[in-house]
Amino acid sequence: MRIEKLDHGEEKVRQHLFAFLRPHEAECLFLTGNLKNRFPGTHLYAARQGEEWLGVGGYYEEPRAVVLGAAEDAAARELASELAGRHPDLQSLCAPAGPAAAACRVLAGMGWDHAEDPRCLLMELDSPPAPQEFEGLVRPIRLGDHVPVVKLLRQIHNRPPGAPVTEHELRALLMNPLCLVLDAGSGPVATAQTNGMGIAAFQVLGVATDPAHRNRGYARAVCASLVRTMWGRGARRAVLFTRRDNPAALGCYRRIGFRTAGEYWVARLVRGGGRVSTPW
């Protein structure tokens, strides 16, 4: 097996990538959505045996993330080793559960550990949700919203809410082609985003609500509006990943029709002692 860096700007390579990832699209939307929307700072690689592709891996400069798709365990191990060697500043790894566990064991041997339980539920929705109360308060992000939206998103990443907003945070927000906010009258109090259409599906990202405005149905409203908007653009499936220990989020998504379809890992990586400290 060898790892080959791909020229994903070349049209034949792009079409091969989409064809290879299509059967696994629900688990590969970080790859297909970013590829379709030409996400900046993207580096893509294929694990190959002769002419056959055995998996695809991506490294994204802005979030410093490695993403693995359509890779069995052996290909996941080779991709993780190669990408970590080429991009030693990586801070997270995203992949389906089995390949992710195999990749994390390789990364542990290279000095990375994961800082918390990486296991998430993969949830899918294949029809538009019923209209939700407060959808009338949802609108696209606009000038003046970016700082408050960054502060909302800090809840997801466990960052201090009162620290000054950084250029890195603003750039990361601007990279997603669609961001909706719920404005209750004084500015954004809830948000949901997507990195755009992949092939026939899209991914719901960055769902957050101001703590003072929770338990009112605002997250359901902004998520439902995002799904409806993307359906109008041709999507036929919505996918998201959420922590299994977040009952409020699970309840929100299930009430608008999402169902659990599997397990996915979003591992936040730290430099450790070269071992996996928890037996996931």
pLDDT in the model for residue 275: 44
Predicted confidence (pLDDT) at residue 279 exceeds the cutoff of 50: no
Predicted confidence (pLDDT) at residue 245 exceeds the cutoff of 90: no
Residue ranges, comma separated, of all CATH 3.40.630.30 domains in the chain are 2-121+265-271, 127-235
Lowest average pLDDT, out of 12-16, 193-197, 249-253, 275-279, goes to 275-279
The β-bridge relationship of strands 178-183 and 188-194 is antiparallel
In which band, very low, low, confident or very high, does the pLDDT at 48 lie, cut at 50, 70 and 90? very high
Q: How is the chain split among helix, strand and coil, in percent rounded to 5?
A: 35, 30, 35
Residues in CB range of 218: below 8 A, 6 or more apart: 134, 137, 182, 184, 189, 190, 209
108, 274 in Cβ contact below 8 A? yes
Predicted confidence (pLDDT) at residue 274 exceeds the cutoff of 50: no
User: What's the longest Cα–Cα distance across the chain?
Assistant: 59
Residues in CB range of 212: below 8 A, 6 or more apart: 189
pLDDT in the model for residue 89: 94
pLDDT in the model for residue 223: 97
Given this structure, which CATH class describes domain 2-121+265-271? alpha beta
Percentage of residues of the chain with pLDDT beyond 70: 97
Q: Mean pLDDT in the chain?
A: 93
3-state secondary structure of 139: strand
Edge-to-edge order in the sheet of strand 188-194: 138-140, 178-183, 188-194, 205-209
Alpha helices in the chain (DSSP H): 11-21, 29-36, 73-86, 97-109, 146-157, 167-174, 218-232, 247-255
Tokens of 111: 């000095």
Predicted confidence (pLDDT) at residue 207 exceeds the cutoff of 60: yes
Amino acid at residue number 185: G
- CA gap 227, 129 in Å, rounded: 8
pLDDT in the model for residue 157: 76
Average pLDDT, stretch 149-165? 85
Tokens of 205: 């990202």
Predicted confidence (pLDDT) at residue 272 exceeds the cutoff of 80: no
Predicted confidence (pLDDT) at residue 236 exceeds the cutoff of 60: yes
pLDDT (tens digit per residue) in 117-141: 899 999 999 999 999 999 999 999 9
Given this structure, which CATH class describes domain 127-235? alpha beta
What is the model's pTM? Answer: 0.88
53, 79 in Cβ contact below 8 A? no
- CA gap 190, 153 in Å, rounded: 9
pLDDT in the model for residue 69: 96
193, 179 in Cβ contact below 8 A? yes
- CA gap 241, 250 in Å, rounded: 10
Amino acid at residue number 273: G
The β-bridge relationship of strands 237-243 and 119-125 is antiparallel
In which band, very low, low, confident or very high, does the pLDDT at 163 lie, cut at 50, 70 and 90? confident
- CA gap 48, 150 in Å, rounded: 39
In which band, very low, low, confident or very high, does the pLDDT at 45 lie, cut at 50, 70 and 90? very high
pLDDT in the model for residue 280: 47
Tokens of 249: 């989020």
Handedness of CA 267, 272, 275, 279 (dihedral sign): negative
pLDDT (tens digit per residue) in 84-127: 999 999 999 999 999 999 999 999 999 998 888 899 999 999 99
- Residue found by looking up tokens 């037996």 in the block: 279
Average pLDDT, stretch 145-167? 87
